[in-house]
Amino acid sequence: MLSRSFIGGLTTLSLAVTVAAKGGQNQIFKRTDDASTGELHDFQVYPPVLTPSANAEGKNEYGCVVTKTLMDYDFASSYGSPYVVVMEFSLTSKGRQYDRLALMYFNSTEVWRTSTAEPTTDGIYYTYTKEMHQYLPLWKEPQKLIFDLGNIVNSEYTGILNTTLTATFFTVPDTPAAADKILPISRLLGASNESSVAVLPGEETAVSYTLPRNLKRAVVSISACGQADEEFWYQNTLSSDTDTFEDVSGALYGDGPWREVQVLIDGMLAGVSWPFPVVFTGGIVPGFWKPIVGIDAFDLREHEIDITPFIPYLSDGKPHTFDLIVVSVNDNGGEYATIANTTTDSWYVTGKIFLFEDEEGHITTGSMPVIKDPLPSLQITRAITTNSTGANETLTETTTAKRTLLITSNLKTSSGEKEVSWSQDISYENFNQLTDYGWYQSTTQKTTGTDKTGSSIGYSLSYEYPINCDWWYFESGEELGIYGNISRSLTFDVLGPAVFPNGVQASVLDTSASKGASGLSGVKETFVSASLGSSLRTSQSATASYLSDTLATTNSVYNFGSLNQTMSFQGLSYDGSVEIYTRDVGVVNNTITHDQTLFEVGK
Ligand SMILES: *[C@@H]1O[C@H](CO)[C@@H](O)[C@H](O)[C@H]1NC(C)=O
Ligand SMILES: *[C@@H]1O[C@H](CO)[C@@H](O)[C@H](O)[C@H]1NC(C)=O
Ligand SMILES: *[C@@H]1O[C@H](CO)[C@@H](O)[C@H](O)[C@H]1NC(C)=O
Ligand SMILES: *[C@@H]1O[C@H](CO)[C@@H](O)[C@H](O)[C@H]1NC(C)=O
Ligand SMILES: *[C@@H]1O[C@H](CO)[C@@H](O)[C@H](O)[C@H]1NC(C)=O
Ligand SMILES: *[C@@H]1O[C@H](CO)[C@@H](O)[C@H](O)[C@H]1NC(C)=O
Ligand SMILES: *[C@@H]1O[C@H](CO)[C@@H](O)[C@H](O)[C@H]1NC(C)=O
Ligand SMILES: *[C@@H]1O[C@H](CO)[C@@H](O)[C@H](O)[C@H]1NC(C)=O
Ligand SMILES: *[C@@H]1O[C@H](CO)[C@@H](O)[C@H](O)[C@H]1NC(C)=O
């Protein structure tokens, strides 16, 4: 948490040495070095990714295996100056530093969003392997790589981030179809060596493209996360309630706890994403995330919106506008809720359009899209209790939301006419309770959704991501304490042709020579038959506390953290589901207490 407020720029750095409490939600306090000994090996729990090794000739049984170093760079004071050159990612760092958000681009197209683990005195090390097959059309051309990792190094924050990025190119017998073209929805600043992310509100992602006229499928992906006042948006309160505890524990963050990212094509709603609450490595209580980082913290998931029903409309050879906006809750003075078409600050947003082309020369026609997009139902309740002398003592809010969206059209491709559709059905509920004059907060939230194309494409995704968090904060004289516990999970079931790899493709191959997620060994040479989809389930539960005095001179700190995580990853094939990877790992005070990994493919 603490750290993310700095993403805005250097001007806020002076806040780092003082406690700047914002209600029970202090966002910034001095980061103190851990008393841990030895280098800490951070990791995210994720299904293994195939990266084959090669023989002396740079080959394996399927063909060439070529590894290239893309980047080898020390990020010191790098705010505003992303690294530029004409993917296993490793990072080491030592000293004191915040968690940092990093965006990697090919020119103006974001290809990976990650965040860094907070270093310790004795140093940290981690490595993350990411499948990049979905960007095949970009890999086929020379690219300018822009890696924007905004770091600040000074006498207080000493952690230089020492990074290495390599890409391995290899052949496999059977790969999923990648898009033919990928277009960025971003600020398009690659040509001037800048980061193309739009920080909403204020900056815009709106781009205009004249698309090829022979499209048969198109998908927009959304990459979006909140920072600063919006990093913990699920803990934000309705704007009418932000002053509830102002006199005692400080002001709260507003715009309610619900967010929606909208994809707009010429102003028409094409799809939405109700964000997954990614928690970065310094988030809520930093002790939760050492050395196991939060779900998706090293690889922020992008939401896919199939815009195929718009193809007849987009195939007219004329320019069309693609835009992404983030909306929140307007509580109309505490009475009822409507959509507010903006947020307080700092949504880091980009998108991409993945285009799949039909035969050359064919012009796709069809009917115009019919869009059924009733406004989401948004419901709120709010209650404040006061003590006997009239001071606000507790605040309880509930926010629920539900949305359905259906877009249909007929598409005439070279292979005939078919109905295409995109539907989304999403529910959300959030309960936020602040007690003890705002020093304690309990949040319970759950988002559940299903996205589907029609059967002619055959993609569907079911997702669920609850997050429950209790945390207590106090500040007294020079002492600062935070105690918290969290339990959260992610269910992500994909069927059919997703644009982003779901991890099964990689596991389909001979894995005997694979490396990737840590802890794998003795994997047999096996092969799974054609994969239809995958099913990922992972849960984290953690408790942590932090106590320090804020005198820069003493630096005393007590840090305790414990986390358990389970993961189960299955591939779905014509023969049923196949357990591919399971992991059950626990940590207490930086030390792994148990770690059972099972990685077996199609016995
Ligand atoms: C970064 O790592 C490389 C290779 O391990 C090393 O040579 C270099 O000195 C490191 N740089 C810093 C600033 O630690
Ligand atoms: C980089 O992106 C800009 C804007 O999107 C574009 O004008 C330029 O041609 C691109 N350069 C390369 C080398 O692709
Ligand atoms: C972008 O960076 C490259 C490599 O450092 C440099 O050669 C080029 O001049 C830069 N372009 C601009 C517009 O700054
Ligand atoms: C109590 O809460 C209400 C609603 O947030 C706020 O308007 C009011 O100023 C608060 N009272 C005090 C004394 O802070
Ligand atoms: C958002 O709402 C304001 C006020 O209703 C309006 O002026 C503005 O144009 C809207 N912006 C968008 C992007 O819809
Ligand atoms: C009510 O709360 C206020 C603010 O915390 C406090 O100053 C006051 O003493 C409390 N009154 C009682 C009766 O506890
Ligand atoms: C946090 O711990 C308290 C006390 O043990 C428990 O009642 C609560 O359910 C826990 N919350 C979460 C999110 O795990
Ligand atoms: C982790 O699991 C262990 C063993 O099952 C349990 O004792 C401990 O309370 C769990 N810790 C957390 C933070 O959930
Ligand atoms: C965790 O570390 C703290 C000191 O930083 C210590 O007080 C506590 O006893 C440790 N807990 C365990 C279970 O080792």
pLDDT tens digit string along 39-65? 788 888 888 776 666 777 777 766 777
pLDDT tens digit string along 153-209? 666 666 777 888 888 877 766 667 789 999 999 999 999 999 999 999 999 999 999
Cβ–ligand 2 contact at 188 (below 6 Å): yes
Pull the structure tokens for residue 553.
């001179």
Nearest to 499 by CA among 459, 456, 538: 459
Rounded CA-CA distance 196/81 in Å is: 12
Pull the structure tokens for residue 109.
């197209």
Nearest to 68 by CA among 189, 203, 197, 166: 166
Cβ–ligand 9 contact at 588 (below 6 Å): yes
Whether residue 238 contacts residue 397, with contact meaning beta carbons closer than 8 Å, is answered with yes
In 3-state terms, what secondary structure has residue 16?
Answer: helix
Ligand 2 centre distance from Cα of residue 298 (Å) = 27
Q: Before 374, cis peptide (omega within 30)? A: no
Ligand 7 centre distance from Cα of residue 541 (Å) = 10
Q: Please give the pLDDT value at position 398.
A: 97
pLDDT tops 50 at residue 32 = no
Number of neighbouring beta carbons within 10 Å of residue 155: 5
Angle at the Cα of 103 from the Cα atoms of 98 and 109, rounded to 5 degrees: 170
Whether residue 595 contacts residue 583, with contact meaning beta carbons closer than 8 Å, is answered with yes
pLDDT tens digit string along 356-411? 999 999 999 999 999 999 999 999 999 999 999 999 999 999 999 999 999 999 99
Rounded CA-CA distance 230/57 in Å is: 51
DSSP 277: -
Continuous H helices in 253-368? 311-314
- The gap from C-alpha 358 to its chain's centroid, in whole angstroms, comes to 32
Cβ–ligand 6 contact at 248 (below 6 Å): yes
342 Cα nearest atom in ligand 5? 1
Cβ–ligand 2 contact at 107 (below 6 Å): yes
Ligand 4 centre distance from Cα of residue 257 (Å) = 19
DSSP 57: T
Whether residue 236 contacts residue 330, with contact meaning beta carbons closer than 8 Å, is answered with no
Q: Please give the pLDDT value at position 243.
A: 96
DSSP 8-27: G-GGGGGGGGS-B--TT---
Rounded CA-CA distance 452/462 in Å is: 9
Q: How far is CA 103 from CA 55, 82, 98, 204, 503, in A?
A: 33, 9, 16, 17, 21
Q: Please give the pLDDT value at position 574.
A: 67
pLDDT bin (cut points 50, 70, 90) of residue 83 is: very low
pLDDT tops 80 at residue 237 = yes
pLDDT bin (cut points 50, 70, 90) of residue 551 is: low
Q: Please give the pLDDT value at position 196.
A: 95
Which protein residue has the closest C-alpha to ligand 9 atom 9? 560
Q: Please give the pLDDT value at position 550.
A: 64
- Residue 140: CB partners within 8 Å, gap ≥ 6? none
Pairing between β-strand 124-129 and β-strand 40-41 as defined by DSSP bridges: parallel
DSSP 219-242: EEEEEEEE-GGGTTGGG---GGGT
- The count of C-alpha atoms lying within 13 angstroms of the C-alpha of 24, restricted to the half-sphere facing its C-beta, is 29
Residue 118's φ and ψ, nearest 5 degrees, are: -75, 130
In 3-state terms, what secondary structure has residue 437?
Answer: helix
Q: Which of 17-21, 253-257, 357-361, 499-503 comes out lowest in average pLDDT?
A: 17-21
Pull the structure tokens for residue 196.
């193309």
pLDDT tens digit string along 317-356? 999 999 999 999 999 888 899 999 999 889 999 999 999 9
Taking the CA atoms of residue 480, residue 232, residue 399 and residue 376 in that order, the dihedral angle to the nearest 10 degrees is 170
Average pLDDT, the chain: 83
* Stated length of the chain: 603
Name the closest ligand to CA 189.
2
DSSP 312: H
> Given the structure tokens 């990714």, which residue do they identify?
49
